Protein backbone atom coordinates (compact mmCIF):
# COMPACT_ATOMS: atom_id res chain seq x y z
CA UNK A 1 0.00 0.00 0.00
CA UNK A 2 1.53 3.29 -1.04
CA UNK A 3 1.21 6.56 0.80
CA UNK A 4 -1.07 7.81 -1.98
CA UNK A 5 -3.68 5.15 -1.24
CA UNK A 6 -4.07 6.03 2.44
CA UNK A 7 -7.45 7.75 2.96
CA UNK A 8 -7.27 11.49 3.50
CA UNK A 9 -7.83 12.88 6.99
CA UNK A 10 -11.23 14.17 8.03
CA UNK A 11 -12.10 17.26 6.01
CA UNK A 12 -15.16 18.39 7.93
CA UNK A 13 -17.61 16.61 5.62
CA UNK A 14 -19.14 13.17 6.13
CA UNK A 15 -16.96 10.43 4.73
CA UNK A 16 -19.62 9.54 2.14
CA UNK A 17 -19.46 12.91 0.42
CA UNK A 18 -15.90 14.20 0.71
CA UNK A 19 -14.77 13.79 -2.87
CA UNK A 20 -17.83 14.08 -5.07
CA UNK A 21 -20.74 15.09 -2.91
CA UNK A 22 -22.43 11.81 -3.90
CA UNK A 23 -23.24 8.76 -1.83
CA UNK A 24 -20.62 6.04 -1.79
CA UNK A 25 -21.25 2.81 -3.68
CA UNK A 26 -20.65 -0.63 -2.20
CA UNK A 27 -17.40 -0.68 -4.17
CA UNK A 28 -16.30 2.54 -2.45
CA UNK A 29 -17.16 1.11 0.97
CA UNK A 30 -15.21 -2.07 0.24
CA UNK A 31 -12.23 -0.10 -1.04
CA UNK A 32 -12.21 1.91 2.16
CA UNK A 33 -12.65 -1.30 4.17
CA UNK A 34 -9.62 -2.75 2.39
CA UNK A 35 -7.57 0.31 3.27
CA UNK A 36 -8.68 0.11 6.90
CA UNK A 37 -7.88 -3.63 6.99
CA UNK A 38 -4.41 -2.88 5.63
CA UNK A 39 -3.81 -0.33 8.39
CA UNK A 40 -4.88 -2.87 11.03
CA UNK A 41 -2.66 -5.53 9.42
CA UNK A 42 0.38 -3.25 9.39
CA UNK A 43 -0.10 -2.03 12.95
CA UNK A 44 -0.55 -5.64 14.11
CA UNK A 45 2.65 -6.65 12.31
CA UNK A 46 4.59 -3.83 13.95
CA UNK A 47 3.25 -4.70 17.40
CA UNK A 48 4.12 -8.38 16.93
CA UNK A 49 7.64 -7.46 15.81
CA UNK A 50 8.13 -5.25 18.87
CA UNK A 51 6.23 -7.11 21.60
CA UNK A 52 5.94 -10.73 20.48
CA UNK A 53 3.03 -12.70 19.08
CA UNK A 54 0.34 -13.38 21.65
CA UNK A 55 -3.38 -12.72 22.05
CA UNK A 56 -2.86 -9.62 24.22
CA UNK A 57 -0.51 -8.02 21.68
CA UNK A 58 -2.88 -8.68 18.79
CA UNK A 59 -5.84 -7.34 20.77
CA UNK A 60 -3.94 -4.16 21.71
CA UNK A 61 -2.72 -3.64 18.14
CA UNK A 62 -6.24 -3.97 16.72
CA UNK A 63 -7.63 -1.63 19.37
CA UNK A 64 -4.98 1.01 18.72
CA UNK A 65 -5.35 0.74 14.93
CA UNK A 66 -9.14 1.09 15.11
CA UNK A 67 -8.80 4.03 17.49
CA UNK A 68 -6.38 5.72 15.08
CA UNK A 69 -8.76 5.23 12.13
CA UNK A 70 -11.78 6.51 14.05
CA UNK A 71 -9.94 9.66 15.14
CA UNK A 72 -8.44 10.26 11.70
CA UNK A 73 -11.76 9.97 9.86
CA UNK A 74 -14.15 11.09 12.62
CA UNK A 75 -16.29 7.98 12.24
CA UNK A 76 -17.37 5.42 14.80
CA UNK A 77 -15.51 2.21 15.52
CA UNK A 78 -18.57 0.17 14.57
CA UNK A 79 -18.52 1.81 11.13
CA UNK A 80 -14.84 1.00 10.69
CA UNK A 81 -15.49 -2.63 11.71
CA UNK A 82 -18.44 -2.80 9.30
CA UNK A 83 -16.24 -1.64 6.41
CA UNK A 84 -13.48 -4.09 7.32
CA UNK A 85 -15.85 -7.02 7.82
CA UNK A 86 -17.68 -6.25 4.57
CA UNK A 87 -14.37 -6.09 2.72
CA UNK A 88 -13.20 -9.39 4.19
CA UNK A 89 -16.46 -11.15 3.31
CA UNK A 90 -17.29 -9.68 -0.11
CA UNK A 91 -14.13 -8.38 -1.82
CA UNK A 92 -13.77 -11.61 -3.82
CA UNK A 93 -17.43 -11.67 -4.90
CA UNK A 94 -17.79 -9.34 -7.93
CA UNK A 95 -21.57 -9.81 -8.17
CA UNK A 96 -21.99 -8.82 -4.53
CA UNK A 97 -19.89 -5.70 -5.02
CA UNK A 98 -21.83 -4.79 -8.15
CA UNK A 99 -25.38 -5.32 -6.92
CA UNK A 100 -25.56 -5.22 -3.12
CA UNK A 101 -25.90 -2.14 -0.97
CA UNK A 102 -23.79 -1.74 2.14
CA UNK A 103 -26.91 -2.43 4.24
CA UNK A 104 -27.42 -5.71 2.35
CA UNK A 105 -23.82 -6.67 3.08
CA UNK A 106 -24.27 -5.79 6.73
CA UNK A 107 -27.26 -8.12 6.94
CA UNK A 108 -25.20 -10.91 5.34
CA UNK A 109 -22.20 -10.76 7.70
CA UNK A 110 -23.50 -13.32 10.20
CA UNK A 111 -21.36 -16.45 10.37
CA UNK A 112 -24.31 -18.78 9.70
CA UNK A 113 -25.13 -17.17 6.34
CA UNK A 114 -23.62 -19.11 3.46
CA UNK A 115 -22.90 -18.23 -0.13
CA UNK A 116 -26.25 -19.72 -1.22
CA UNK A 117 -28.13 -17.09 0.78
CA UNK A 118 -25.80 -14.37 -0.51
CA UNK A 119 -26.52 -15.44 -4.09
CA UNK A 120 -30.28 -15.43 -3.39
CA UNK A 121 -30.05 -11.89 -1.99
CA UNK A 122 -28.07 -10.77 -5.04
CA UNK A 123 -30.74 -12.31 -7.30
CA UNK A 124 -33.44 -10.50 -5.34
CA UNK A 125 -31.59 -7.18 -5.55
CA UNK A 126 -31.05 -7.65 -9.31
CA UNK A 127 -34.73 -8.47 -9.82
CA UNK A 128 -35.87 -5.46 -7.77
CA UNK A 129 -33.21 -2.82 -7.03
CA UNK A 130 -35.72 -0.80 -4.99
CA UNK A 131 -36.50 -3.51 -2.41
CA UNK A 132 -36.30 -1.96 1.04
CA UNK A 133 -33.79 -2.90 3.70
CA UNK A 134 -36.65 -4.09 5.91
CA UNK A 135 -37.96 -6.42 3.20
CA UNK A 136 -34.45 -7.68 2.50
CA UNK A 137 -33.94 -8.37 6.20
CA UNK A 138 -37.22 -10.34 6.30
CA UNK A 139 -36.14 -12.27 3.19
CA UNK A 140 -32.80 -13.18 4.76
CA UNK A 141 -34.37 -14.14 8.09
CA UNK A 142 -36.91 -16.38 6.36
CA UNK A 143 -34.09 -18.22 4.59
CA UNK A 144 -32.05 -18.54 7.79
CA UNK A 145 -34.88 -19.89 9.91
CA UNK A 146 -36.72 -21.84 7.22
CA UNK A 147 -33.92 -24.29 6.63
CA UNK A 148 -34.84 -24.45 2.97
CA UNK A 149 -32.78 -23.83 -0.10
CA UNK A 150 -33.11 -20.09 -0.79
CA UNK A 151 -34.79 -18.89 -3.93
CA UNK A 152 -35.14 -15.39 -5.25
CA UNK A 153 -38.85 -14.54 -5.10
CA UNK A 154 -40.70 -13.53 -8.20
CA UNK A 155 -41.10 -9.81 -8.46
- For residue range 47-101, what is the model confidence (pLDDT) as tens digits? 999 999 999 999 999 999 999 999 999 999 999 999 999 999 999 999 999 999 9
Query: By the 8 A CB rule, do 122 and 139 touch?
Result: no
pTM: 0.77
Question: Could you count the other beta carbons within 10 Å of the beta carbon of residue 49?
Answer: 10
Spell out a b/e string for 68-86, using b for 16 or more CB atoms within 10 Å of the CB, else e: ebbeebebeeebbbbbbeb
Tens digits of residue pLDDT in 8-51: 444 444 454 455 556 777 788 899 999 999 999 999 999 999 99
Amino acid sequence: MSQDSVPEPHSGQPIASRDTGQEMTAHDHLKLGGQFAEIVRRVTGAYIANYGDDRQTRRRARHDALEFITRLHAIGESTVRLYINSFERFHAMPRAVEFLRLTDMQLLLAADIGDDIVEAVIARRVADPTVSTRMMKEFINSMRSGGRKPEAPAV
